[in-house]
Structure 1
Amino acid sequence: MPPPRPHLSRLAERDAFWWMTGIEDTFITAPWPATGRTLDEYALTGHYDRWAGDIDLMASLGVKAARYGIPWHLVQRTRQDWDWSFADNALGRLLDRGIDPVVDLVHYGLPPWIEGAYLNPDYPDLIADYAGRLAARFEGRIRWYTPLNEPRVTAWYCGRLGWWPPYRRGWRGFIAVMMGIARGIVRTVRRLQAVDPQIVPVHVDATDLYETRDPTLIEETERRQEIVFLALDLVSGRVDPEHRLWPWLLQYGAGERDLAWFQANAVELPLIGLNLYPMFTLKRLQREGNGRFRIRQPYACGDLVAQLGRLYHERYRVPLFISETASLGSVEKRQRWMDDSLAAVRQLRNTGVPMIGYTWWPMFDLVAWAYRQGLREPAQYFARMGLWDLDPATLNRTPTSLVGSYQSYVAGGSFAVGSLELGEN
């Protein structure tokens, strides 16, 4: 590895490659009007009752780090009511088992008492306060925090589709929510580092790769690809009048003063996590018979990882890691993706791209988001993506052959993914 930056030295001391896992932690606290259902993955998969055993399963893999979400809506049930018991117990057990948590502070949903969600003018201060209190509880023990998982996807579902609070629709809604989210990320990073200057903000976003075979859709495809980077560009102060999206942002409601605020308050991107999936991440634009275009999602091969790694490296020039990946389907299909994606990681490292970690996510099944809007039992929405399968009747964690396979990769340390070659890259 290259000489580590000071705030990454702890990672370099532990291992030259960061093997990780995690548990799906989507928390949508607002009920869907037609069904009354919320979407709390920890409740649906039984993690609130099995958190200690689940952390022991993590430890059995040999991983030294894990992405782990804290349910803010349970920590802070009202603006004045704080309950740290779950966070203290779960994070404490991770540390006791020798696993460094990368704390996922917000995973889509917010406490329901925050009216207007990300558009609430107090939101940036509220998230910063929550983050600072948690960091203070674990000062000197936890150094890795994700201010908000997948800001672009959050803005899409909250602001473009209108499925999650604050239920805005269209590009104006998307940009309004994105601006609130990004401002919250900046405030959170500042507060975390004020509590402990050794804290490393881990910025994690979904990493769609857009393509088209239709020359009339090239401009739209390129704009969609730029939108993929929007959250990272905003918080790091890269969005200026020369930015490709500047006119588009102004067209759909962003103010020049708001954009200038991000340039004046830019934060560093010390480590970027790439969330990618072979069944979701590749996006292909094509014309339909009515002349409108549609975005399809063909299943991708392992080269998806290599393409995205190079794309992010060329743009940001910072260490990267795979913060979420898995395939949906049979154990054999999941195994192929594990092998193929790790071969791509090896390729990246051999060509000097600083890919320093890999996360199989989730470690056991998640409940698909359609559950919130559906009427069937939770087991009917299980997405088979994990190393363990969930038993539909008991929620027992049933190991698959993937557990042993991942253990073998983890045991190989950095040798399993090859050395990181240094050079002009």
Structure 2
Amino acid sequence: MHQPSLFQSFFLGGFECSTHRRGDGRRLDLLAATGHDRWAAHDYATLQQHGIRSARDGLRWHLIERTPGRYDWSSFLPMLRTAQEQGTQIIWDLCHYGWPDDIDVWRPEFVERFARFAAAAARLVREETGATAYYSPINEISYWAWAGGDQGHFNPMGLGRGAELKVQLVRASIAAIEAIRAVDPAARFVQVDPAIHVCASSDRPGPQREAENYRQVQFEAWDMLCGKAWPGLGGKPEYLDIVGVNYYSDNQWYHGGCTIPVGHADYRPFQGILAELHQRYGRPLLIAETGAEGDARGQWLRYVAEQVGLAMQRNVPIEGICLYPILDYPGWDDERHCPTGLLGFADAEGRREVHAGLADELRLQRTRFGLLEPQSHAAAVI
């Protein structure tokens, strides 16, 4: 059975850090909307009370580089130092759907500017911490290409340009990795994208080949990064360091139809999806995002954890499960209260209500995976 070794705790917490612009032009800032930028110290400390000593968090590029080539770290440095002081290990998202307003994402300058920003951020992290750093260069390349490049749901509001945006984001991720490694050769990278399953309905027989072709699209960005596809982009196996798998209850559906519910005959067990990813890439896996809303939170964690445990028994190298988002948040489009987190909205002192059902299930699963928890945290990784 695989023994995880990369993160300080098997269960991680993910702080929603999207900074994209909606179709109406409004820029979102979820770190501010959830109050995490203000209450990071409280949040990290609370997670540690629940045995979570590693997390995903993010930099807000649009705040840091308002003027080309000039970096204002005031929105990031307090979070970085707080994590360092408290011994919380962070995977830092460098670009979570947003970028500075003066950049055209379709132009070569986007790649060049992002690489310089990534190097500057890595230099700061190295100087502040001196420890091995973990980064997610560009969050969800495939999903962003679909939502922002094909469907126009958010920036860059593209229609039918998903493949073009995907290639551009892969270029930017590769450039950022090279720039960071020039500063910090020991840095590690998590390449995060959704894992999905798509099939034709067994009740209404449909085009199996079309469904399978759609399912295969989930691998394109990872394939480009490691050089399996579009080798002219410069992909190499080392760019696919850690595969970050995002998985929710609606990640399986019928081609052109509805979601496949868990337990249905057509629902593919998550352990099989994980085994396929490992067989395809041979890299460590992190469940980089998973969660549910409302009272389903605990039950969903139980399902995911059970499937992860079964996959690990088959020697699939899974390094952890990240509860994401770990905080309740206002919905991207309608600002509704999305009750997804272990923790709720902060009060005036930064205190957050704990969701009892998810906390209980997390406690149970931490006990189950307890023997897999790292035994020493002396060399904290920030």
Give the TM-score of the pair, scaled to structure 2.
0.87
Residues 236-256 of structure 1 deviation map (CA, whole Å, 9 limit, x = unaligned):
1101xxxxxxxxxxxxxxxxx
Aligned equivalent of 2:187: 199
Counterpart residue identity of residue 13, structure 2? T
**One-letter code of the match for 1:307?**
G
Structure 2, unmatched stretches of 5+, are: 374-382
| Equivalent in the alignment of 1:409 | 365
- Sequence identity (%): 25
Establish whether residue 24 from structure 1 lines up as the match of residue 13 from structure 2. no
Residue 366 (str. 1) matches residue 329 (str. 2): yes
**CA contact under 8 A between 1:388 and 1:403: conserved in structure 2?**
no
**Residues matched between the structures, number:** 364
2:311 alignment counterpart: 348
Distance 1:304 1:109 in 2: 33
Match of 1:12 in 2: 5
Aligned to 1:309: 274
2:123 aligned partner: 136
CA contact 1:19–1:357 (8 Å) conserved in 2: yes
Query: CA 1:268/1:260 → structure 2, altered by over 3 Å: closer, same or farther?
Result: closer
- What is the letter of the counterpart of residue 389 of structure 1? G
Relative to structure 1, is the Cα distance of residues 362 and 210 closer, same or farther in structure 2, using a 3 angstrom cutoff?
same
- 2:300 matches 1:337: yes
Counterparts of residues 57-136 of structure 1 (less than 5 Å): 57-115=46-104, 117=105, 119-136=106-123
What residue in structure 2 maps to residue 290 of structure 1?
none
Report whether the alignment pairs 1:327 with 2:292: yes
Could you say which structure has the larger radius of gyration? 1
CA RMSD of aligned residues (A): 2.5
Question: Aligned partners of 1:14, 1:40: CA distance in 2, in Å?
Answer: 27
The within-5 A match list for 1:172-187 is 173-187=161-175
SS class of match (2:5)? helix
Structure 1 residues 236 and 383 mapped into 2: Cα distance closer, same or farther (>3 Å)? same
Query: Aligned pair in 2 of structure 1 residues 88, 391: CA closer, same or farther (>3 Å)?
Result: closer
Does the aligned pair in 2 maintain the 1:186–1:266 contact within 8 Å? Answer: no
Alpha carbons 1:100, 1:142 under 8 Å: kept = no
> Alpha-carbon deviation of 1:88?
1.3
Deviation at 1:369, TM superposition (A): 2.1
Give the Å deviation of 1:59: 2.3
Partner of 1:298: 260
**Letter paired with 1:12:** S
Q: Residue type matched to 1:152 in 2?
A: S
1:51: Cα distance to partner? 2.4
Alpha-carbon displacement from aligned partner over 1:76-105 (angstroms, at most 9, x marks no partner) = 112143211221110221122111111111
Whether contact under 8 Å (1:409, 1:416) holds in the other structure is no
Listed as ranges, the gaps of 5+ residues in structure 1 are: 4-10, 240-258, 286-293, 372-377, 418-425
Whole-angstrom distance in 1 between the partners of 2:85 and 2:236: 37
Q: Give the counterpart letter for 2:262 in structure 1.
A: A
SS at structure 2 position matched to 1:299 = coil
CA distance in 1, matches of 2:40, 2:346: 17
1:225 is aligned to: 215
- Matches of 2:150 and 2:351, distance apart in 1: 37
* Offset of residue 47 of structure 1: 2.2
How many Å apart are 1:163 and its aligned residue?
Answer: 2.5
Report SS of the residue matched to 2:193: strand
Question: For residues 213 and 350 of structure 2, what CA distance do their matches in structure 1 show?
Answer: 43
Structure 1 contact 186–267 (Cα < 8 Å) conserved: no
* Deviation of the 1:413 alpha carbon: 4.8
CA, structure 1 residues 38+304, in 2 after alignment: closer, same or farther (shift >3 Å)? farther
**Deviation for aligned residue 1:270:** 2.1
1:254-278 deviations in Å (ceiling 9; x for gaps): xxxxx34225666432211100001
**2:139 aligned with 1:149:** yes
What displacement does 1:20 show? 0.6
Aligned residue type for 1:230: E
* 1:12–1:327 Cα change, 3 Å: same
Post-superposition offset of 1:108: 1.2
Are the counterparts in 2 of residues 147 and 188 from structure 1 also a CA contact under 8 Å?
yes
CA separation in 2, counterparts of 1:266 and 1:169? 31
Could you tell me how far apart the structure 2 residues matched to 1:46 and 1:114 are? 27
Shift of the 152–344 alpha-carbon distance from structure 1 to 2, 3 Å rule, reads same
Show CA shifts across 1:113-167 (max 9, x none): 213x2x1221111111111111111223242111111001111121101132322
Q: How many angstroms does 1:111 deviate by?
A: 1.6
TM-score by length of 1: 0.79
Counterpart Cα distance in 1 of 2:321 and 2:231:
35
Structure with more relative contact order (C-alpha pairs < 8 Å, separation 6 or more): 2
Residue 281 (structure 1) aligned with residue 251 (structure 2): yes
